[in-house]
Amino acid sequence: MPADVISLVRGPGLRYRPGLSRLPAGRRGADLARHRPDVLLTRTVPDAAEAAAWRRATARDAPLVVILVAPDADGGREGAGEPAPDAVDVADAHLTVVHLTDRAATGRELYARALALAELRWLTAVTAPTLSSRLAAVRPRRGSVALVGAGVVNLITALRLLRSGHRVTVYDSAPDPRSGAHWTAYGASRGGGDGRMFTLTETDGYHGNATTGPVPFLRPLKDNGWCLAEPSALGEEELGWVRDSARIPPWLARAYTDDILLLNRLSQPLWNELLSTEQELARDVGLREGILRLYTDPAGLRAQIARQQALGAAHRVLSPEQVAHGYPALSHTHTAGVLAGGIEVTGFTVQIHSFLARLIGLLEQEGAQFHWERPVEGLHTDANGLPDGLRCAEGPVRADHYVLSPGAYGGELLHGTAAHGLIHGVVGVWLTLPNPLPRLLNSLKISRSGHVAEDTNVTVTTAPDGTPSLVVGSGYGWTGADPAHIDPAQLDALHTAVEDTAALFFPEAFEEARADGLLERSKRHCVRPWTASSLPVLEIAPNAHGGLVVVTGGHNTGGFAQAPVVAQAVATAVHGEAHPMHVRYHPDRLRMFYRNQ
C-alpha cells in the first residue's frame, strides 16, 4: 500500500494484513479463520476453500462481505475495474462480493471509499433480514397512527400519512403553537426564532478535523468549545456519548456525512412537490428562494466552493466586490474588509411560526386530531414487553402504529427503544434585527472560521406588525442528555457571540435594535436534537398488534430540511416497504461498527 494509506487502515475495528495475498491458498484460509473478519478488503476473490474456512470459523448465518479493491497506480493485476464475480463458488448464501470500480480514485482516496463501502454493505447485510421481516409483517398497511411530538418533522410526517390514507392523531406536551404562549413553552420548531432554511448541506456531519481534533463537546464556550451544560450535571451517559463521537475514524465520519447529504438531495424534490401541491403551506409564510453563503476566511471559501459545486448547489461564486454590488445591504462588509467572498446556492427560507400554523390548520381541515398539553410518558408494553400503546396520565392510548419524534426531549418516552440515550441537546440562540433600507432581499448563511458563533443563518422575514426584519440564529451549545442542563453564564456567552456577528454584518440595524429594546426582547434559544455520530435516527420496531413503532430524530441543525424525506421514510415503513433511510439512519449503526465496545 502507499505510505499514506497505512494510517487509514489501522485503528479500532480494522486489522491490516499486508502479506495475506502472498500466502499459499491454505494459509490464507487459515488466516481468515483465525481472525474471523466481517469484511475482507482484497484484490482477489477468495477461492472456495478459503471462503469455506472463513465461514466455518464464524456464526452460521453471519453475513460476510468481500470488497474487491481496484489496484492503484503503484501496480496490480491486469483487468482492474472489470466486473467481479457476483459470488464465490461456495454454498454460502450469506457471503457477498462487491467490486469497487473507481478509476478516478487512487491511494488514500481509493481505500477511504473502499472502507466506506465495506461498512455500508456489511451494515445492510446485518440489518436487512430483520428490517425486511418487520416490514413484511406490518398489518394493517393503512390504519390509525398516533404521533408523539408536534415539531415540523412530525407534522410533515402527519400530512404524508394523511395523504396516504391513514387516520392521524398528534400528541404534544406543549400548547397549541397558534395560542401565543411564551416561547419557553415550546420545543425547537416553535420555541426558536421565526426562520428555517433548506439547503443541500443544511443537515450535515459534525466531526471535527485533523487540525482541531474531535468536536469539543466537553470544552466550555470561553475556550471555543461546545459545552453549555454545568459540569456537575454531566454523568457517565454524557461522557460515553462524547467518547463515541470522538472515536469515529475520518473515513467513517465522511461516509456518514455523505449519507446525510444524500438524504438532503432526496428531500429537495419532495419539498418542491409539497410546496407546489399544498399551496396553502406556501401562502403568507415568507417563502424566499435563493441563499447567499458568505465567508470571512479564504480557505473556508475555497473548500465550500468545491463542496457546493460537487453537490450541484452552487449557482455563482462572488468576490467581495460582487457581493457589495449585488447586495447593497452588505456593501459595508467589503469596505470594512470583512469578506473573503460568497456563493449563491440552491435553497429557500420560510417563517417557521407562520408555516407551522398553516400546516396545523391544514391537518385539522383534513381530519387530523390534536391533543395539546397532553404529555406522553412512555410506551405501554404488554406481558411480553412489546409496545401496545402510549402511556399517558389518563391511561394508555392505542393505535395501529406509533411515531415518536420528541426532538431533544425524548427522556423516558424513548425508554425501551434502540434510540434511547442516543439523542442529546445542542442549544442555538436567536435574535431579531430590523431590515432597513437598502434592504437585504435574500437570506444568508455566514461562516466565520474559528468564531464561537461559527455558522449563522440570517432569515429575511416580516414581523407580526409588518416590519421588515432579519432573524439571526447561530451557536452550538451541548447540554448533554437533559436539555434543561444549561449554564446561564455560558448561555450568555453564546448570545454575546451571535450579537458580535450581527453587529459586524449589520451595524446600523444592530444599533437600532439595541436602542429600541428589540435586541433584548427578541433573545431566545432552542434545544436541537443531536447524536454523537451526527447521523439522524430512524428506528423501526414491531408493536404488539402487528403495527410499528417508529422513532425519528437527531437531525441536528436540519430537521426542517429533511422533514419531507423523513415523512417519506415513515410512510413507506408503515406501508411495509423499504426506504434508503431505514438502513443509513439505523439507530445501531455506530454501535454495530464498534460491536458495542
- The CATH code of the domain that includes 213 is 3.50.50.60
When pLDDT is cut at 50, 70 and 90, the band that residue 93 belongs to is low
Domain boundary among 77, 111, 136: 136
Does one domain contain both 261 and 333? Answer: yes
Q: 463 and 365, same structural domain? A: yes
Report the pLDDT value the prediction gives residue 100, as an integer from 0 to 100. Answer: 87
Model pLDDT, residue 220:
93
| Biggest distance spanned by C-alpha atoms of the chain | 82
Could you tell me if residue 102 is inside a domain?
yes
Contact 172, 147 (CB under 8 A): no
Higher pLDDT, 317 or 84: 317
Choose the weakest-confidence range: 54-63, 159-168, 188-197, 271-280: 54-63
Question: Does 90 reside within a domain?
Answer: yes
Where is average pLDDT lowest: 62-76, 124-138, 515-529? 62-76
For residue 596, the model assigns a pLDDT of 53
* Residue 313 is assigned to a structural domain of this protein: yes
Residue 496: phi and psi, rounded to 5, are: -60, -40
Same domain, 265 and 328: yes
> Total domain count for the chain?
2
The pLDDT tens digits of the residues spanning 118-159 come to 999 999 999 999 999 999 999 888 899 999 999 999 999 999
199 and 108 inside one domain:
no
Residues 96, 174, single domain; the answer is no
Answer with the one of 101, 136, 171 that is the final residue of a domain: 136
Same domain for 342 and 241, yes or no, is yes
Does one domain contain both 121 and 220? no
> Would you place residue 56 in the very low, low, confident or very high pLDDT band (cuts 50, 70, 90)?
very high
In this structure, the answer to whether residues 314 and 187 fall within a common structural domain is yes
- Indicate whether 596 belongs to any domain: no
Share of residues in the chain with pLDDT > 90 (%): 82
Domain boundary, last residue among 91, 118, 136 = 136
pLDDT of residue 516: 97
Q: What average pLDDT is seen over the chain?
A: 93
Considering the domain architecture, whether residues 495 and 415 belong to the same structural domain is answered as: yes
DSSP string, 444-467: EEEE-TTSTT-EEEEEEEE-TTS-
Distance CA(334)–CA(490), nearest Å, equals 32
Asked if residue 438 and residue 524 are part of one domain, the reply reads yes
Within-domain flag for 597: no
| 82 and 48 both lie in a single domain | yes
The DSSP-derived string for 265-334 is HHHHHHHHHHHHHSGGGGTTS--EEEEEEEES-HHHHHHHHHHHHHTT-EEEEE-HHHHHHH-GGGHHHH
pLDDT-based confidence at residue 12 (cuts at 50, 70, 90)? confident
Residue 343 backbone dihedrals phi, psi, to 5 degrees? -135, 125
- Dist CA 318 CA 471 (whole Å): 24
Average pLDDT, stretch 243-272?
A: 96
Q: Is residue 399 part of a domain?
A: yes
Whether pLDDT at 72 is above 60? no
For residue 484, pLDDT over 50 is answered with yes
- Beta strand 423-434 pairing with 468-480: antiparallel
Nearest partner of 542 among 384, 327, 369, judged by Cα: 384
The pLDDT of residue 105 is 78
101/160 same-domain check: no
pLDDT in tens, 454-463: 999 999 999 9
Which pTM value belongs to this model? 0.95
Residue 62 lies inside a defined structural domain of this protein: yes
**Domain residue limits at 204:** 144-591
Instruction: Give the three-state DSSP class for 410.
Output: coil
Asked whether residue 157 is domain-assigned, the answer is yes
